[in-house]
Structure 1
């Protein structure tokens, strides 16, 4: 049973892979961490909602939502967004508001130029808190989940040999740049292990422990209960990947897997693993792991057995998750890192640029390449 932070697998090293030979730090400054949303769809240019593409730092999504609600005298519930973002970063994100609720604008008679002028006039009241990059228009409000993924640009500072590997690096090992490029090439070929990061579980696993107690009958407010049970779901997924790695199938399909298409997100059954192995190797598809809940589809054969073993370790059943009224889902086990780029700023600092699907953690991606230092453990 999970008892504390160290017991939670959150990096490739926790699954048994050799730890990276380099260490480094991220989030030394907010400007070191840039994230830009990749929308699930493009705004059509027509409709009853305005989409604002906003860049900001030192404000989280909830705080931006509150600023926009005050600016346009709207209830907070009428400001839409697709995903939550951290305050300790430079974030570019879309927010939506109903055009017919904005003072001074008539959605039927106001031209695009008039609307844009009025918005910019009202935006001046924010005194530079939010940078408005673009105004778009669409038929519906943004909702949580209307997000394909995120594009990250992260500066890693103080690169050097990791403490536990410095003695193992000889003069033939290569420069820091060569070592990092070699690691990047390896994981670009293999794909990223789609683990949940430490933020999901709370300090020393506190959120996970709360979730387990809620599933045992302890009462809590709904938002806290949902947060805790989500941590249990996430732990189950990470533990499932650990079991899969122990069987030598972390990067391979099993008969009976439920696989997901990397581009479309479509899920399908794999009766015979060998028939889809080339697509798995190329990153076109991945097997999926369990996010237990009432709507989760189950695989068959050895993949199903691993899920049953995961539940047994937790001391839970599928019915226990269904009783908590969580929807459940399938989550890709391996995701492509084909677009990973390294741009060196100095000999000891590098920008890592890559895209991840919604719900995947940038710090987990980086942990494949370097050991992150203490101040780097907040996950995005």
Structure 2
């Protein structure tokens, strides 16, 4: 498989209202909520940074440069959007009480807000939530119908799709995954014909980003199949929990059964090589909820402009909410 259609099915049907999205960085504001206070002691520093039109790895690189450490010594809880205004925490390993002029981090696009001692490095997904304030400009179409959609999202949530950014620009991470799994399959077939891999032979390790994109793509395939059948909101027969969930593929038994297992097997049949590749990449089979219910969801119209405010858990995508509301018209500059 080599064609990656990212136009996944809509729960509410394709939106008829269009809106300008990310015309300015200030149209997309994110506040990272750690959910805990810095401990005040330890071998790491926590830095809270307000950034505008900068990506997370760039800020992390600047922190490492100023501290005189390796990039791997800098941690953060997740990647935040570049074309946005975001408040985000970083950790840096500094066991010695070094006198560092952190004001060097300040620039036209970044501002240091706070520095605290802490006892451990920040890890991906460790934070509690992300708070969003998003302005959609110049909404065109039936605004009463948009109001109906807003109420539906508030009451029932949206499909918990992984957002397009997970898959890279022009689905580049998925194309890389396709090449990876095709090469791996060819190598395995060749090894079988020759009697197996030689002792001690190792495969080159794929990047975590590519594997994450592949798992996300497979999850979206299952979710799309359930959205098309209007079976995504409630658990199906064969569900392992009281929530409707889909697989994050990896090694181990798929816990679903019955009707649900049949649906997932059918949805993933064209991607059997990917499933096989992920099983051999050292990832464990997991489940992810199919329903995203934005917390503290409010909205306000200012003429044709719509301002949304809501909170999401780590791993949830704001674009999964927005896509159910409007057709988003994005300026080319925000592609980065």
The TM-score, its normalising length taken from structure 1, stands at: 0.75
Q: What does 1:40-59 align with in structure 2 at a 5 Å threshold?
A: 40-59=35-54
Q: What does 1:58-77 align with in structure 2 at a 5 Å threshold?
A: 58-77=53-72
2:116 is aligned with 1:136? yes
Q: CA deviation at 1:248?
A: 3.0
Q: Which runs of 5+ in 1 are unaligned?
A: 105-118, 162-168, 170-175, 259-268, 271-285
* Partner residue in 2 for 1:157: 137
- Structure 2 CA distance for partners of 1:32 and 1:135, relative to 1, 3 Å: same
Question: Deviating runs (4+, > 4 A) in structure 1?
Answer: 218-223, 376-380
* Partner residue in 2 for 1:33: 28
Q: CA deviation at 1:148?
A: 2.6
* Partner residue in 2 for 1:8: 6
Q: Distance in 2 between matches of 1:72 and 1:126?
A: 10
Q: Is the 8 A contact 1:158 1:348 kept in 2?
A: yes
* Partner residue in 2 for 1:250: 232
Q: CA deviation at 1:179?
A: 3.6
- Structure 2 CA distance for partners of 1:297 and 1:28, relative to 1, 3 Å: same
- Structure 2 CA distance for partners of 1:68 and 1:252, relative to 1, 3 Å: same
* Partner residue in 2 for 1:343: 300
Q: Distance in 1 between matches of 2:118 and 2:11?
A: 47
Q: Distance in 2 between matches of 1:77 and 1:135?
A: 19
Q: CA deviation at 1:141?
A: 1.3
- Structure 2 CA distance for partners of 1:377 and 1:147, relative to 1, 3 Å: farther
Q: What SS does the aligned partner of 2:233 have?
A: coil
- Structure 2 CA distance for partners of 1:361 and 1:378, relative to 1, 3 Å: farther
Q: Is the 8 A contact 1:72 1:102 kept in 2?
A: no
* Partner residue in 2 for 1:88: 83
Pick from 342, 364, 367 the counterpart of residue 323 of structure 2.
367
Of stretches 44-53 and 312-321 in structure 1, the one that deviates more from structure 2 is: 312-321
Q: Distance in 2 between matches of 1:353 and 1:126?
A: 29
- Structure 2 CA distance for partners of 1:364 and 1:93, relative to 1, 3 Å: same
Q: What SS does the aligned partner of 2:321 have?
A: helix
Q: CA deviation at 1:200?
A: 2.5
Q: Is the 8 A contact 2:2 2:178 kept in 1?
A: no
The TM-score, its normalising length taken from structure 2, stands at: 0.84
Of stretches 48-57 and 308-317 in structure 1, the one that deviates more from structure 2 is: 308-317
2:283 is aligned with 1:326? yes
Q: Distance in 2 between matches of 1:206 and 1:133?
A: 35
Q: Is the 8 A contact 1:291 1:328 kept in 2?
A: yes
1:305-345 Cα shifts (integer Å, max 9, x gaps):
2221122132437443212333443211002124111133x
Q: Distance in 2 between matches of 1:179 and 1:87?
A: 31
2:105 is aligned with 1:126? yes
Pick from 226, 232, 249 the counterpart of residue 214 of structure 2.
232
2:200 is aligned with 1:210? no
Q: Is the 8 A contact 1:44 1:137 kept in 2?
A: yes
**Across the two proteins, how many residue pairs are aligned to each other?**
318
- Structure 2 CA distance for partners of 1:58 and 1:98, relative to 1, 3 Å: same
Of stretches 235-244 and 205-214 in structure 1, the one that deviates more from structure 2 is: 205-214
* Partner residue in 1 for 2:200: none
